[in-house]
Amino acid sequence: MLTTPKAERLTLVIYGLRNSGKSSLTNNLLRTSASIVSDRPGTTTDPVVHAMEMGPLGPVSVVDTAGFDDLDDELGSMRVERSERKLETADIVLFVTRGDVPPTAQEEALAERLRRRNLPCLTVLTFADSGICDEKSVFAPGFRKILVDNRSGHGIEDLDMALQRFSDKIEREITPLEGLVQAGEMILLVTPIDASAPKARMILPQVETIRDILDKDCVMTVTTEKRLSHCYDALKERPSLVITDSQAFSEVGAALPEDQLLTSFSIVFARKKGDLGFFVESLGKLKEVPPGGRILVLEACKHHRMNDDIGTVKIPNLFRKKVRPDVSFELKQEIPSSNELRNYDFVINCAGCMVTRREMMKRVSLLKENKIPGTNYGLFLAWGKGLLPRALEPFPVEHALYRSVSF
């Protein structure tokens, strides 16, 4: 479980004022003493992440944060900002507040924010051993309240049970091949081993797909694009699906029979992580990019850049060739604020393999809100190299959508 990729785990964020008992609660929930507890406000500084298996919720990252009222100095504000960022990516929030004292204005404001975000959230009233004051018993209407005495651990079992009930509400990622293959089928994977491939390893989307093929009781063959024809000819049975790295799309498409179902890892993961329909629809808006247009390439992780880096070299080159030459490119790892976002004419997202679906969907909804078209690497490369609609054939809805938007 500890090796479950971070993006596959749910994130449970423990949030509240300083000294509200967040770290004590974390320890009780994990049945360890992993987080430092003290009566000094501001004990927890950086967010502390613990991995644990939580019954029906599966693998969970439990994040103990710094108090969100730590605004005394610049350092405190930086801590609060870090905790805030964790809150943004939370799947479940435990809003921790002392049950024996009335809510502060900051807590009232937070309750309102959480309510608007419509996230699964529980209010944990700590210090239940000191009694619950009237104001707290009516605080944060709409959120279930759990009374906890961190000293004795009383109430933790109620909290465990309440958390388990969230398991149906959580937006889960589908597996890479969900609904695409059936038990017993043969899948062919094409994974180039070029300069950007990590030494002696496979990249995460490939590993996850391989695991999913095994889970779905299918069989597979894995080859490089160089050996593709050799490998394909040697197969006794035609693969029900071929999935290739998007960078080798053209060669792979050309080497296979026209009626062979083919897609890319990036498209498979665009569907798993994001909004494939939006990504496809946005391609139709490429022709509206004006002269001197500003294009934002939005990556989700920092990686070592090679000479032919996809985000800084391949995508801009292809864009200038296929869409228009007179555009400028910017690369960011964090999505800008709405104000800044509106300065861009088109956004190209990475595959998002290192972030959760919730994070990617947050980007997508910001783009939609601001009416900025956006697609992702795999779709853009497939479009640019003329492989659409072929690479969408395994996805009938998006395939039809592609045909309905004019290019």
> Distance (Å, rounded) from C-alpha 123 to C-alpha 191?
47
Report residue 211 as tokens. Answer: 């695991």
Q: Are 291 and 326 in contact (CB under 8 A)?
A: yes
Q: Which is nearer to ligand GTP, 133 or 210 (CB)?
A: 133
Query: Quick one: which of 318, 378, 376, 317 has its CA closest to 349?
Result: 376
127 lines the binding site for ligand GTP (CB under 6 A): yes
> Distance (Å, rounded) from C-alpha 395 to C-alpha 393?
5
83 lines the binding site for ligand GTP (CB under 6 A): no
Pick the binder of ligand GTP from 37, 162, 197, 354 (CB under 6 A). 37
Residue 22 C-beta: closest distance to Mg ion, Å? 5
- With CB atoms as reference, the residue minimizing the distance to ligand GTP is 21
Pick the binder of ligand GTP from 67, 253, 293, 384 (CB under 6 A). 67
| Look-up of token digits 């507890």 | 37
**Residue 306 backbone phi and psi in degrees, to 5:** -95, 175
Q: Which is nearer to ligand GTP, 34 or 202 (CB)?
A: 34
| Look-up of token digits 């929930």 | 29
Residue 152 C-beta: closest distance to ligand GTP, Å? 8
Instruction: Please name every residue paired with 113 in a beta bridge, in sequence order, or none if there are none.
Output: none
24 lines the binding site for ligand GTP (CB under 6 A): yes
Residue 121 C-beta: closest distance to ligand GTP, Å? 17
> Distance (Å, rounded) from C-alpha 253 to C-alpha 360?
28
22 lines the binding site for ligand GTP (CB under 6 A): yes
Q: Which is nearer to ligand GTP, 106 or 333 (CB)?
A: 106
Query: Quick one: which of 361, 388, 387 has its CA closest to 374?
Result: 361
DSSP letters spanning 82-108: HHHHHHHT-SEEEEEEETTSPPPHHHH
Residue 17 C-beta: closest distance to ligand GTP, Å? 7
Pick the binder of ligand GTP from 83, 123, 126, 356 (CB under 6 A). 126
Residue 340: count other Cβ atoms within 10 Å of its Cβ. Answer: 12
- Residue 89 binding partner per list ligand GTP, Mg ion, none, with a CB distance cut-off of 5 to 8 Å that depends on partner kind: none
Query: Quick one: which of 272, 277, 268, 214 has its CA closest to 241?
Result: 268
**Residue 304 backbone phi and psi in degrees, to 5:** -70, 130
Options 38-46, 50-58, 115-123, 221-229: segment touching ligand GTP (CB under 6 A):
38-46
Q: Which is nearer to Mg ion, 61 or 223 (CB)?
A: 61
Q: Which is nearer to Mg ion, 44 or 376 (CB)?
A: 44
**Residue 147 backbone phi and psi in degrees, to 5:** -90, 130
- Residue 149 binding partner per list Mg ion, ligand GTP, none, with a CB distance cut-off of 5 to 8 Å that depends on partner kind: ligand GTP
Residue 281 C-beta: closest distance to Mg ion, Å? 45
Pick the binder of ligand GTP from 19, 206, 223, 266 (CB under 6 A). 19
> Distance (Å, rounded) from C-alpha 51 to C-alpha 66?
18
95 lines the binding site for ligand GTP (CB under 6 A): no
80 lines the binding site for ligand GTP (CB under 6 A): no
Residue 126 C-beta: closest distance to ligand GTP, Å? 4
> Distance (Å, rounded) from C-alpha 336 to C-alpha 286?
21
Question: DSSP 3-state helix, strand, coil percentages of the chain (rounded to 5)?
Answer: 40, 20, 45
Q: Are 226 and 248 in contact (CB under 8 A)?
A: no
Binding mask 5-44 for Mg ion (x = CB under 5 A): -----------------xx-------------------xx
- Residue 38 binding partner per list Mg ion, ligand GTP, none, with a CB distance cut-off of 5 to 8 Å that depends on partner kind: ligand GTP
Residue 221: count other Cβ atoms within 10 Å of its Cβ. Answer: 16
Interface residues with ligand GTP (CB under 6 A) are 16, 18-24, 37-39, 41-44, 66-67, 126-127, 129-130, 148-151
Interaction site with Mg ion (CB under 5 A): 22-23, 43-44
